[in-house]
């Protein structure tokens, strides 16, 4: 069992009930869903929780996003347009962010780009005889 963090402390568990997924809270079944619906509900809960996490950790998200923007990497870490806007402003105005780097330096690449060349040599001549 796991404790749910709610306004009140409750004991909750999720169990398999035949072909359904059941949510048991304080010993009582509160919800029973087919597995497809349970997956959709879990995805929706996770999405909403990530949106809240983005708001709670907005300063770190803005800083990390600004580092990526400053290095020309167009990967979005935030869904909220206000956070993306603040990150763009920070990337433009804060010169130190460009100097921070992304931790990708230090080891020189020995990789060669291009197609390999195949050199074919004539086959070795076999000597027939007594096996020497």
Give Rg (Cα) of the chain. Answer: 29
Q: Return the axis-axis angle of helices 81-93 and 58-70, rounded to nearest 10°.
A: 50
Can you give the pLDDT of all 132 residues of the chain as single tens digits?
A: 555 556 677 788 999 999 999 999 988 999 999 999 999 999 999 999 999 999 999 999 999 999 888 888 888 899 899 999 999 999 888 877 766 655 555 556 566 667 777 778 888 887 776 655
Q: How far is residue 36's CA from residue 29's CA, in Å, rounded to a whole number?
A: 19
The pLDDT assigned to 13 comes to: 92
Residue 110: burial class (beta carbons within 10 Å; 0-12, 13-18, 19+): exposed
């Amino acid at each position: 069992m796991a404790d749910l963090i709610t306004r009140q402390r409750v004991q909750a568990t999720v169990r398999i009930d035949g072909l359904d997924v059941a949510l048991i809270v304080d010993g009582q079944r509160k919800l029973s869903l087919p597995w497809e619906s349970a997956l959709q509900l879990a995805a929706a809960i996770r999405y909403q929780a990530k949106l809240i996490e983005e708001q709670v950790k907005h300063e770190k998200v803005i800083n990390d996003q600004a580092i990526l923007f400053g290095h020309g990497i167009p990967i979005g870490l935030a869904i909220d347009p206000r956070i993306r806007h603040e990150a763009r402003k920070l990337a433009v105005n804060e010169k130190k962010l460009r100097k921070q780097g992304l931790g990708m330096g230090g080891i020189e690449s020995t990789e060669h780009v291009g197609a390999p060349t195949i050199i074919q040599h004539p086959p070795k001549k076999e000597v027939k005889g007594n096996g020497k």
